[in-house]
């Protein structure tokens, strides 16, 4: 039997509790340069899909983490609530109270 732990708080997730999976993709956005003429015969979307598919199929060093990275996390229900409220971590520093030394 598989045993899971929360990737955020590191607590074990009991088998009778709900486990949440967060999948993230981070990839470079290639904006078209307006000064370059468009090549109407090229399917840029298909080219990008081919590159991403190649990256999934094999460990290709041509696609560096600066270009494409995929991540997966298991969360408990408490950490899921926090993640949904602050998916980018913004505002979390406001929730932490520091002493006024």
Q: What is the 3-state secondary structure (H, E, C) of 17-48?
A: CCCEEEEEEEECCCCCCCCCCCCCCCCHHHHH
Residue 93 structure tokens: 């520093």
Written as six digits, the tokens of 37 are: 């003429």
Q: What is the pLDDT of residues 70-96, one digit of tens each?
A: 999 999 999 999 999 998 888 766 656
Instruction: Count CB atoms within 10 A of the CB of residue 6.
Output: 19
Burial class (CB within 10 angstroms; exposed 0-12, middle 13-18, buried 19+) of 13: buried
pLDDT of residue 7: 97
The residue that leads in pLDDT, 1 or 69, is 69
- Give residue limits of the domains in the chain: 4-28+45-95
pLDDT for the residue 6: 97
Higher pLDDT, 50 or 17: 17
Query: pLDDT at position 61, please?
Result: 58
Sign of CA dihedral 56, 61, 67, 73: positive
User: Mind listing the pLDDT tens digit for each residue in 23-63?
Assistant: 999 888 877 666 566 566 778 788 878 877 776 665 555 55
Per-residue pLDDT, 84: 94
């Amino acid at each position: 039997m598989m045993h899971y732990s929360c990737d955020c708080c590191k607590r074990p997730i009991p088998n009778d509790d709900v486990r949440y999976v967060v999948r993230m993709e981070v990839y470079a956005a290639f904006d078209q340069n307006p000064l370059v003429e468009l090549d109407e015969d090229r399917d840029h979307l298909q080219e990008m899909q081919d590159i991403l598919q190649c990256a999934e199929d094999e460990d290709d060093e041509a696609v560096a983490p600066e270009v494409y990275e995929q991540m997966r996390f298991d969360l408990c229900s408490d950490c899921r609530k926090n993640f949904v409220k602050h998916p980018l971590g913004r505002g979390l520093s406001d929730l932490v109270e520091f002493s006024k030394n």
